[in-house]
Structures are given as C-alpha cells and as structure tokens.
Amino acid sequence: IIMIELGDLREGILPSSLIAYYERLLSLKNVQVLGIGANLGCLSGAVPNPEHLTQLALYKELLELKFKHRMAMISGGSSSLLPLLLENRVPRAVNHFRIGDSVFLGSDLINGGTLAGLRDDAFTVEADIVEIKEKSLVPLGETTSMSPFASLQPDEHSPGQRGYRAIVTVGQVDTEVSGLTPLDPNHQLAGASSDLAVINLGPDPGELKVGDTIRFRPSYGALVRLMMGKYIDKELLPDPGIFQAQLSRHATTSLPPVIDETFNQPEAAL
C-alpha cells in the first residue's frame, strides 16, 4: 500500500511525487501494489474529513487511468475515521480501515466518549497490592526533579494531610501508567516508578489488604504496551472456543475479503 502524506506528518510520500513513485514501483518484479492510503490523526492529531478521502479516491482513479493497472483498495485511515463512516460521509471507494483503538476500547476519537454499539470495558488491568499504609500525601522536606518519571499526583493536598496509599505491581516499564484509570472513583493515581505504582485510597482503605488487587481501565496507549509486555499475564474470558461458538450462533453479517486469490492476475489489468 502506497501511503500518501495528507497532513498528519507521519508516513507518506508527497502527492506531487506520486506518479513518478508509482511508475518506479510497477517496474519492480517482487513488489505488488495493492492500493493507496493515508495516515490521519495518529501522530499530529490531524482530523480526517471527506475532502481527504476524496483526494485519495481521485489519486487512485488517476493512477489506474494512466497506468492501466487496477488497485484493490484505498486504506482510508484509523479509528479516527469511524465517526465519518457512521455518518455515511466516507466515499464508497474507501474500502480499507486500520482500526485499533475503537475496536478494542470503543473510543470515539473525534467527539469523545464511546461509539454507538461498541464497548469501553473489554479490557481490565489488575495489579496486586504489595503495601498499604497511612502516609502523608505531600512529600516531606526539600524536593527536586530527580525522579526519572513525572509525578501524577495533583497539587491539591495540603502539608500535613494524610491518607492511605497502596503500592501495586505495575510500573512504567510495563505500561503508560498515566493511561490507567482506577475503576473505583475514590482511588487516584499518585505516581509510578519503574515497576511499581502508588494509588491514593483516601481516608479509608475499606477492606483492601496486601495481596488484594486494584483494577484499572486502560487507555489505548497503556493497552498497547501491556499487550506487548512478555512479563504481563493475559487472560481471555470467556475461553476463545466458547466465544467463537457464541459468535457463530449470533452473527448476522458476512463480509467478503477485499483482496482474493485472483487479484493482480492478468485479468486484473484495466
């Protein structure tokens, strides 16, 4: 897939060099061009719009007419494109999407909240408590910025104010700790070091004790790092076999592949 720069300033060739670039690719024996695409929103936050997608459709049409070679797809974008798709504002020529955040966490990256029909609770992070103690909520004595990781603790606490704190077994080497939201609204992230995080529990820890777990909802950034971590235990519920059986019974839609085995055979030429 040839990625074209449309404003997010991540990957992609400039539109002005598209024809020359495509011509060179077609001359390579071991390269198969499946289509064109663009990245929007993943690096600089550029918001996709119908004009971006229309540009891609026109580029595809131009290349096909000039080189008499059919392309199977336009890869229009990522999760940030789904609100436009749900509003029927995506050109029909755009037939491929690279979805991560929304399919896993249900995120509406443009309007906020959760997209209709999707869930935001598919993933839960559990971390074991290794210490609970009542402590001051404000550091004692002189402080500097020597900590290698930024503090997450708000500045709302007064000197001398105390509360219960839990240390849990997840840290900055495991994930983006700032992307973890405690499920208990009374709990608050205070900060994290390499392998531990500190949670403010408030004036009463309830029945929590060492060995219990505190549960979090991850952001997409936190989820990506957790899923890549080989020291993080992952558990699927229900069992994938049971889930597949349930899906087979209730599925109502069947989608053909965008690319089949006959694509780019001699008859694929225009």
Domains, the chain? 2-119 (3.20.20.10), 125-228 (no CATH)
Res 91: pLDDT: 95
- Per-residue pLDDT, averaged over 37-45, amounts to 95
Of the candidates 126, 180, 186, 173, the residue with the CA atom closest to the CA atom of residue 152: 180
Query: What is the pLDDT of the chain when averaged over all its residues?
Result: 90
CA distance 30 to 237: 42
CA distance 166 to 234: 23
Res 258: pLDDT: 62
Report residue 155's pLDDT band, with 50, 70 and 90 as the boundaries: low
On the 0-12 / 13-18 / 19+ scale of CB atoms within 10 A, 93 is middle
| Residue 154, pLDDT above cutoff 70 | no
Q: Which percentage of the chain shows pLDDT scores above 90?
A: 77
| Residue 2, pLDDT above cutoff 80 | yes
Bridge pairing between strands 162-168 and 197-202: antiparallel
Of the candidates 2, 75, 82, the residue with the CA atom closest to the CA atom of residue 47: 82
Res 18: pLDDT: 98
142 or 48: whose pLDDT is higher?
A: 48
| Residue 265, pLDDT above cutoff 60 | no
Strand ranges inside 11-58, DSSP E: 35-37
Amino acid symbol at 235: E
Res 264: pLDDT: 53
Res 255: pLDDT: 65
Q: Which percentage of the chain shows pLDDT scores above 70?
A: 89
Res 224: pLDDT: 97
Angle subtended by helix axes 18-26 and 50-67, to nearest 10: 50
DSSP state of 47: P
DSSP state of 121: -
| Residue 253, pLDDT above cutoff 80 | no
Those residues with Cβ within 8 angstroms of residue 211's Cβ, 6 or more apart along the chain or in another chain = 128, 129
Report residue 266's pLDDT band, with 50, 70 and 90 as the boundaries: very low
Report residue 250's pLDDT band, with 50, 70 and 90 as the boundaries: confident
For the stretch 181-228, pLDDT in tens is 999 999 999 999 999 999 999 999 999 999 999 999 999 999 999 999
For the stretch 66-93, pLDDT in tens is 999 999 999 999 999 999 999 999 999 9
| Residue 269, pLDDT above cutoff 90 | no
